[in-house]
Amino acid sequence: MRSNPLLINSQENVLEILVKPETIIYSIADDNGQVLLRQEVNILSGKSADIAVYEHFFNQPELQITSENTTIIFSNSQYQLVPSELFREQNMKLIFEVEHGALEDEYLKYLVLPKWSTHLVFAVPSKMMDFFKSKFPEAEIEHHVGNLLKRKIDKNTNAVWTYLRNDAMDLFVVKDNQLHLLSSFEVKTKEDICYFILNAYEQLQLDTEKYTLNVLSEDIVNKDVVELLESYISCVNH
């Protein structure tokens, strides 16, 4: 990549790194939130991770941003919500592995979500995390589900939210100021998406005439998905 002089040596620029199972997306923005550069690169993050590739890639001049201005967001389905009154850091690995199986080449991190009186525990690739800790020691570590619960999901509104990812979806149901459901599913087709959403409505006895569905996406929402959902649910926001 050719160096961009507008991006180098600015103390105000902000770096956001989104780590997905098979790719990394990074974006650089100025202090007004204007995105200056965005790029997606295919870099493995699991057992096949090559730290030399990380070092080469993140040593680009454009990415020499102070760690205090860096946020690293992990996007995956390996997470677990634990009520804050029950959370114990020394027990989180045991409880996490009951649901997700034994960890392999992964660390556990957690976020406190006071708004929901809960802790979000999530897995991160150990090799990648070691690299990021050395490269950006003061970076803020986030999870995409935590970001949604903090910034998108309204605790005061009885509604359903779905967040569509590449081959997965996250489903949130809020009722009476409580999070009644948070689950993630692998999906391949629009019919898969519709099935899991309608199943949640049925299981929780939600009225499709009254309970709004809010469709969020990491990309542009597919209009075919929305049209299918609108044939079953009266109010679909996207």
Domains detected in the chain: 1-151 (3.30.420.250), 154-237 (3.30.420.260)
The predicted model gives 163-185 an average pLDDT of 96
Per-residue pLDDT at 180 = 96
Q: Give the residue, 19 or 220, on which the prediction is more confident.
A: 19
Average pLDDT over residues 187-197: 97
Q: How confident is the model at residue 185 (pLDDT cuts 50, 70, 90)?
A: very high
Packing angle between helix 126-135 and helix 51-58, nearest 10 degrees? 30
Task: Check whether 213 has a pLDDT greater than 50.
Answer: yes
Taking the chain, what is the end-to-end CA distance rounded to the nearest angstrom?
35
- Residue 68, pLDDT above cutoff 70: yes
Would you state the structure tokens that stand for residue 76, as one six-digit string?
């995956």
Q: What does the pLDDT read at residue 55?
A: 77
Q: State the Cα–Cα distance between residues 112 and 226, nearest whole angstrom.
A: 33
In this structure, are residues 63 and 15 in contact, taking their beta carbons and an 8 Å threshold?
A: yes
3-state secondary structure of 235: coil
| Residue 97 one-letter amino acid | E
Q: Report the alpha-carbon distance of residue 109 to residue 121 in Å, rounded.
A: 6
Q: For residue 7, what pLDDT band results from cuts at 50, 70 and 90? A: low
What is the pLDDT, as a whole number, of residue 57?
Answer: 78
Measure the CA–CA gap between 210 and 158, rounded to whole angstroms.
Answer: 9
Say if residue 24's pLDDT is above 50.
yes
- The phi, psi pair for 51, rounded to 5°, reads -60, -30
Determine the pLDDT at residue 6: 52
The strand pairing partners of 124, in sequence order, are 107
Is the pLDDT at 82 greater than 70? The verdict is yes
Residue 110 scores a pLDDT above 50: yes
Give me the mean pLDDT over the 1-27 stretch: 74
Confidence check: pLDDT of 9 > 70: no
Q: Out of 9-18, 60-69, 142-151, 213-222, give the one with best mean pLDDT.
A: 142-151
The per-residue pLDDT for 1 is 45
DSSP state letter for 138? T
Q: Which residue has the tokens 């009644």?
A: 180
Closest CA to 207 of 173, 237, 238: 173
Q: Averaged over 183-210, what is the pLDDT?
A: 97
Largest CA distance in the chain: 57
Distance of alpha carbon 225 from alpha carbon 232, whole angstroms? 12
Is 59 buried (19+), middle (13-18) or exposed (0-12) by CB count in 10 A? exposed
pLDDT reading at 122 higher than 50? yes
Q: Please list, residue by residue across 25-34, b when 16 or more beta carbons sit within 10 angstroms of its beta carbon and e when fewer do.
A: bbebbeeeee
Asked whether the predicted pLDDT for residue 49 surpasses 90, the reply is: no
Give the mean pLDDT of the chain: 90
Q: Could you tell me the two tokens for 5? A: 């002089």
pLDDT at 32: 83
Distance of CA 3 to the CA centre of its chain: 29
